[in-house]
Amino acid sequence: MKITYIHHSSFSVETEKATLLFDYYAGPLPAFAKDRPLIVFASHFHADHFSPVVFELAGHEGGARFILSHDIRPGKVPEELLDRTRFVKAGESFELAYAQGEAAMRIETLRSTDEGVAFWLSCGGKEIYHAGDLNNWWWEGEDKAWNRNMAANYKKEMEKLAGRTADIAFIPLDPRLEKWFYLGMEGFMEKADAKAIFPMHFWKDYSVIERMKRHPASAGWGDRIVDIREEGEVFER
């Protein structure tokens, strides 16, 4: 797989049979292969995860499909593209035929602890997790009961992934959470596993990646955290 870090929580993943684009709203896009379909995912309506600009990709030569969280209003979608768009809620599991004559991609959704959904995809023999804003948003100074409820809700979603292994996992690592920045990634790895972990949602503060790699919470798997240094960087997995 060829993975490109685009911006914030947006990545593209190019497999042998399809190109996947997650949570795009800004930044230069790579030149996607024209001989395979493009599947565009948006985890929720927040402006740093979704923009109607994605519909400009509808003319992709390999064909384009759109998988959008249900909190994105249908009115945001051009009418002529509604038949190529599926709105999803948390707890769904379905197959999407993305290339004629090929096995379908399985798409599963989890409930975000903020807005919308997270995605778990089984595609071409690969397992891919994109968290969207599903994270343990434990804020310094927030009401203790609110934070405890957040932690419980996050743990509940992670329980649904217990024992599963992602080939690549895109997980928030937000420095605004101050000393609690590591909780979401730690919580995922406590229940599930990942061969390669791509930090996201770090607001261009690349230093938080090294902090996570050195944090005691990542003992045993910190070397699987991918060092992202710039937008447009490409990784092979």
Q: Please, is 209 exposed, middle or buried when counting C-beta atoms within 10 Å of its C-beta (0-12, 13-18, 19+)?
A: buried
CB atoms within 10 A of CB 130: 26
Distance CA 182, CA 205 (A): 14
Which residue type occupies 231? Answer: E
- What's the whole-model pTM score? 0.97
**pLDDT, tens digit (0-9, with 9 covering 90-100), for 79-127:** 999 999 999 999 999 999 876 656 689 999 999 999 999 999 999 899 9
How far is the C-alpha of 219 from the C-alpha of 185, rounded, in Å?
12
User: Which residues of the chain register pLDDT less than 70?
Assistant: 99-103
What are the structural domains, with CATH classification, of the chain?
2-236 (3.60.15.10)
Q: Are 67 and 107 within 8 A, CB to CB?
A: yes
Please report the pLDDT score of residue 99 as a whole number.
66
